[in-house]
Amino acid sequence: MLSEEENCTLTQVGPGTPMGELMRRYWQPIAAVSELDTQSTKPVRLFGEDLVLYRDRAGTYGLLDRHCPHRRADLSYGYAEDCGLRCHYHGWAFDETGRCIDQPFEETTHPEARFKDRVQVKAYPVEAKAGLLWAYLGPQPAPCLWDWEVFYATGFKQIVFAEVPCNWLQCQENSIDPVHFEWLHSNWSVRLRGRDGPYSPRHLKVGFDEFDYGYIYRRVREDTTEEDELWSVGRACLWPNALYTGDHFEWRVPIDDTHTLSVGWFLDRLPGDAPFEQASIPSWYAETTDVRTGRWLDTHVMNQDFVAWLGQGVIADRTQEHLGDSDRGVTAVRKRFLDDLEVIADGGDPKAILRDESHNERLWLPRFASGQPTGITRSGPNAGQATAYTLGEAGKPRPFSFLAGQPPAIAAELERVWSERNSQV
Ligand code: FES
Ligand SMILES: [Fe+2]
């Protein structure tokens, strides 16, 4: 349980708030590279700031204030030039540093005044990595943008976004909550399919270990022992706002205090060892609402997570909780954030900031050698049964079970690539 003051401190992310300042010290994924293949701008709201992301015709990315400094037009309706972004209203143009580089009328009538030299728009750096575009809103110098080893894995990748109308922290606390798999995903999925049971194997023990880039959580269930990778390898609650489970990441990016952008990065490993080049990593927005009933969708793993987070309230009231032994990880994460606020106040770097680029190469994260998803029961009466995660048919890739609304063309492309490779093995 937290005090009301602590809960406010941990959940507010706007400019000038303590947690907002802490979270701005980390690169955040805000878009897919492939989104800017078909459009030159994307409106973005991040940490309570309205911004526009763009790629100019030279391929340079920029992230600027949404509103033009001339008379406040919305720059997400602007258009990309060879260099920079031009406002659609009166044609002022800006480069990725926020410098005003053109004012067509002023330069015609009073070129000597060089008015543009006195105009600047707010700008933040953007980097592309792993098919994602990452923004950094913190103080300079920016830290390294993590170079996770799995970004280089051979396979078919896809990026999935969803906007979730609740605070980011309750989403992230789900990243260090092993017991919820048993209930929210396994047991609930069985009941959603209209069956009464059986119950999935119980958790007997959970463990949490801090490492350089977050916490590793471990579990022993009735059907596993400490020899099993669920315990011996574990999974990563990645700092400060992500989950990594082996072949996918889920970032919970704060849009503002009451909205979160869920960013999923998914890898399907392909048969065989031959290299595979994916020209562009496709991206899509997930469905979250049942249009028939207006209720949240519960059909897919992350949709089920969304139902849990949204049910906690727009900002979970942590003064009303009753935390138990299963919540040791949640408690540790909260404490670490609160401790790091003091570190920042003293001028230090918070957890997981990496500044030496020579060490930022293919960083290790825990991953099961077996590659099996957690929802599969390994032994006992339900052995081999997929509960929340779906097993594929032999000779086909696994159907996408994480989020609702996958475009059929993406599923078909994976199946095509997968089958082609499978026939060569
Ligand atoms: S409002 Fe943008 S150029 Fe006038
Ligand atoms: Fe979950």
Question: Which of 3.30.565.40, 3.20.20.70, 2.102.10.10, 3.60.130.10 is the CATH number of 33-135?
Answer: 2.102.10.10
Answer whether residue 421 shows pLDDT above 60.
Answer: yes
Average pLDDT on 74-96 reads 98
pLDDT of the residue at 369: 81
Place of tokens 């007997």: 204
Q: Tell me the two tokens of residue 175.
A: 């990243």
Given a contact cutoff of 8 angstroms between Cβ atoms, the answer to whether 239 and 365 are in contact is no
Specify whether the backbone of 109 is left (phi greater than 0), alpha (psi in -120 to 50) or beta.
alpha
pLDDT of the residue at 183: 97
Which strands sit side by side in the sheet containing 235-238, from one edge to the other? 203-211, 214-221, 235-238, 242-244, 248-256, 259-268, 156-164, 283-285
Residue 193 CA, ligand 2 centroid: distance in Å: 18
Q: Is the CB of 75 under 6 A from ligand 1?
A: no
Q: Is the CB of 89 under 6 A from ligand 1?
A: yes
pLDDT of the residue at 379: 44
Mean pLDDT of the chain: 94
The DSSP code sequence of 300-333 is SHHHHHHHHHHHTTTTT-GGG----GGGHHHHHH
Q: Is the CB of 94 under 6 A from ligand 1?
A: no
CA distance 134 to 195: 43
pLDDT of the residue at 265: 98
Q: Tell me the two tokens of residue 210.
A: 């801090």
Q: Whose CA is nearest to atom 4 of ligand 1?
A: 90
Average pLDDT on 32-36 reads 98
* C-alpha dihedral (55, 127, 259, 73), degrees to nearest 10: -30
Which strands sit side by side in the sheet containing 126-129, from one edge to the other? 28-32, 132-135, 126-129
Per residue in 290-311, pLDDT tens? 999 999 999 999 999 999 999 9
CA distance 267 to 282: 12
User: Domain limits of the chain?
Assistant: 33-135, 149-422
Name the closest ligand to CA 78.
1
The CA distances from residue 275 to 156, 419, 424, in Å, are: 11, 15, 13
Answer whether residue 387 shows pLDDT above 60.
Answer: no
Answer whether residue 93 shows pLDDT above 80.
Answer: yes
Pocket of ligand 1, candidates 64, 89, 102: which has the most ligand atoms within 8 Å of its Cβ, to mutate? Answer: 89
Q: Look at 54-58, 214-218, 305-309, 382-386 and tell me which has the smallest mean pLDDT.
A: 382-386
Share of the chain above pLDDT 90, in %: 88
Residue 308 CA, ligand 2 centroid: distance in Å: 9
Q: Beta partners for 61?
A: 55
Residue 294 CA, ligand 2 centroid: distance in Å: 22
Query: pLDDT tier at 197 (50, 70, 90 boundaries)?
Result: confident
Question: What residues does the ion ligand 2 have nearby, CB within 5 Å?
Answer: 305
Per residue in 6-15, pLDDT tens? 999 999 999 9
Q: Look at 60-74, 152-166, 272-286, 369-383 and tell me which has the smallest mean pLDDT.
A: 369-383
Answer whether residue 58 shows pLDDT above 90.
Answer: yes
Query: pLDDT tier at 388 (50, 70, 90 boundaries)?
Result: very low
pLDDT of the residue at 275: 85
Global confidence as pTM? 0.94
Place of tokens 């809960």: 7
The CA distances from residue 181 to 95, 219, 305, 380, in Å, are: 46, 11, 10, 18
Pairing of strands 259-268, 41-46: unpaired
Atom number in ligand 1 closest to CA 71: 1
Average pLDDT on 238-246 reads 96
Q: Is the CB of 378 under 6 A from ligand 1?
A: no
Query: pLDDT tier at 371 (50, 70, 90 boundaries)?
Result: low
Query: pLDDT tier at 132 (50, 70, 90 boundaries)?
Result: very high
Share of the chain above pLDDT 70, in %: 94
Whether residue 254 is preceded by a cis peptide bond, meaning omega within 30 degrees of 0, is no
On whether the 149-422 domain is CATH 3.90.380, my answer is: yes
